[in-house]
């Protein structure tokens, strides 16, 4: 693939297009499907089985998928990052459904944060207290600690 084609493809993936379906619609459809799967036979539905196993299993699966996304990103495996990201979103939505959290609640929180800090910023918070930090404190020490904790996983791969 030519450098020009790669740049064009990358630009298209980074640019929102009006003809693309909004992510919130996809997540809402996934959420509705997860809710309907709750009543299915766990022997026939992976979603029903995961729900039956409870929040600890859901949280474990969510964490595993998040680590897999990170590992694939470090390995610069773009197709795998896309696949693992879909798995991550699926497991997140399953967990939301179990906790009674709707996608609308998440979108409202994102809107609130956008008003405060801009859409591309994460709200800073103190790791030990869970309180929001003053605007001048970036929480960089917390980010460094998280990065240090992930480093062995990223260096050795997901099964190492």
Q: Are 74 and 154 in contact (CB under 8 A)?
A: yes
E-strand ranges in the chain read none
> pTM of the full predicted structure?
0.65
**Separation CA 69–CA 92 (nearest Å):** 13
> Do you know the residue count of the chain?
160
Q: Are 88 and 65 in contact (CB under 8 A)?
A: yes
SS3 content of the chain, % helix, strand, coil (to 5): 70, 0, 30
**Separation CA 67–CA 150 (nearest Å):** 8
pLDDT tens string, the chain, 160 residues long: the values are 554 454 444 444 444 444 444 667 899 999 999 999 999 999 999 999 999 999 999 999 999 999 999 999 999 999 999 999 999 999 999 999 999 999 999 999 988 888 888 777 666 776 655 555 444 344 444 445 545 554 554 444 444 3
> How many CA atoms does the CB half-sphere of 23 hold within 13 Å?
8
Structural domains of the chain sorted by starting position, each given as residue range(s) with its CATH number in brackets: 22-120 (1.10.287.1080), 124-155 (no CATH)
Write the CB contacts of 86 (distance below 8 Å, at least 6 apart in sequence): none
């Amino acid at each position: 693939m030519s450098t020009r084609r790669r740049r064009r493809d990358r630009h298209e993936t980074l640019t929102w297009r009006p003809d693309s379906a909004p992510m919130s619609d996809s997540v809402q459809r996934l959420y509705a499907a997860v809710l309907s799967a709750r009543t299915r036979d766990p022997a026939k539905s992976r979603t029903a089985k995961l729900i039956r196993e409870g929040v600890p299993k859901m949280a474990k699966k969510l964490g595993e998928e998040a680590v897999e996304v990170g590992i694939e990103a470090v390995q610069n495996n773009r197709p795998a990052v896309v696949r693992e990201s879909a798995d991550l979103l699926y497991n997140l939505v399953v967990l939301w459904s179990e906790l009674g959290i709707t996608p609308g609640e998440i979108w409202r929180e994102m809107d609130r944060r956008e008003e405060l800090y801009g859409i591309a910023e994460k709200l800073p918070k103190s790791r030990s207290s869970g309180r929001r930090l003053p605007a001048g404190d970036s929480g960089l020490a917390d980010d460094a600690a998280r990065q240090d904790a992930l480093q062995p996983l990223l260096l050795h791969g997901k099964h190492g």
